[in-house]
Homo-oligomer: A and B are copies of this chain.
Amino acid sequence: MRKKDFLPAFAFSRKKEVRMYYHEINLRTTGTAMMKAYILDEEITHRRHIKRPLMVICPGGGYLTLAHRESEPVVARFLGAGYNVVLVDYSVYFKQRPNPGEPGVVNQGFRIADAVQDLVQALNIIQENSDAWFIETSRIYLLGFSAGAHLVGTVAENYRDPEWQKRFRVQFTQLTLQGLILAYPMLTATEVNVKERDAFRDLMAREDILQLDLTQNVSAHMPRTFIWQGNEDQTVNPLTTTQFILKLQQAGVPCEYHLYEKGGHGVALADRTSATTPDYIVPNLAQWVTAVQVWLAQDDGELTLYPDLRE
């Protein structure tokens, strides 16, 4: 899979006045997967600029669809915290999601490895643009929700393996995957209880279930990891998550775990910004956003301003 369409925002044409850069970049020639880069203006004050850490976000959706709630509201929250953000709309099972009365259109050839390829491709493109986008390449974070957590976890576990690098055409060797953030993560293909059961079963029938088990492939090379979940989660099993943390601890991976007694799945920020119904405003779960910012801040170095080398 090669990088195809680079669609610059019209913004590039008048660089001096532009603030945020917004780029949509296809990850596949078919246009069925794309990444969206939200880049804050690097010029933080007159003629001086900074580089920013990057948050790469993969929403959930069971690998069947992409959850809105875990997409843009989360992008906005991290932009507001001073991160540049890339949102990865990776390949999924449904080309067109089902609606009442309509069965949906399935991407017949879809395999989870396609999604993995998409994330790798996104990271390759990020590396290519890291100067233009003023990214602190030593601070790339992967944040995934549910199946999106499975996706970022897959890359975090394997990206250093030479075989795997070859298979997925990894080029992003100059990026440091500094941290991994998993929100109510889908860590295995079993013990998952998604709404569209038949579709999920159909998808899993094509996959190698054992290969999908992230709990079996933890290694000391993984980035520091932050995991959170509600212990009343009915969609993915919180016991599996605790077992996963245990493996990280055993492997010596620096990790942080917030298992909240109450609350379930799919809440994204758990406050009004991402809520579709009042059910999705869960104050005790919303604590995760503050906790992750404290955890991320441990990587804050000194504020560095770069002299203006641009025209």
A interface residues, Cβ below 8 angstroms from B: 7, 9-11, 17-20, 22, 24, 34, 36, 38, 40-41, 43-48, 50, 65, 67-69, 71-73, 75-82, 87, 89, 97, 99, 224, 226, 231, 238-239, 242-243, 245-246, 249-250, 254-262, 272-278, 281, 283-284, 287, 290-291, 294-295, 297-298, 300, 302-303, 305
Indicate if the CB atoms of B18 and A46 lie closer than 8 Å: no
Known contacts A17-B34, A261-B254: A72-B40 contact under CB 8 Å: yes
Among A73, A226, A277, A300, chain B packs the most CB atoms within 10 A around the CB of A73
Indicate if the CB atoms of B242 and A87 lie closer than 8 Å: no
Indicate if the CB atoms of B272 and A261 lie closer than 8 Å: no
Q: Tell me the smallest distance from the CB of A218 to a CB of chain B, in Å.
A: 13
Residue of B nearest to A278 (CB): B303
Cα–Cα, bound, A262→B291 (Å): 13
Indicate if the CB atoms of A255 and B272 lie closer than 8 Å: no
Known contacts A20-B22, A231-B249: A68-B46 contact under CB 8 Å: yes
B-side contacts of A79, CB under 8 Å: 76, 79-80
| Interface of A, helix, strand, loop or mixed by DSSP | mixed
Interface CB pairs A-B, < 8 A, 20: A7-B10, A9-B10, A20-B36, A20-B38, A22-B22, A44-B68, A45-B67, A48-B276, A80-B273, A82-B273, A231-B255, A231-B256, A239-B249, A239-B250, A243-B246, A254-B262, A255-B261, A276-B305, A277-B303, A287-B290
B-side contacts of A71, CB under 8 Å: 19, 41
Indicate if the CB atoms of B22 and A9 lie closer than 8 Å: yes
Which of B258, B259, B278 contacts A255, CB < 8 Å? B259
Cα–Cα, bound, A112→B272 (Å): 38
Cα–Cα, bound, A63→B200 (Å): 53
Cα–Cα, bound, A255→B239 (Å): 11
Cα–Cα, bound, A154→B9 (Å): 34
Indicate if the CB atoms of A68 and B82 lie closer than 8 Å: no
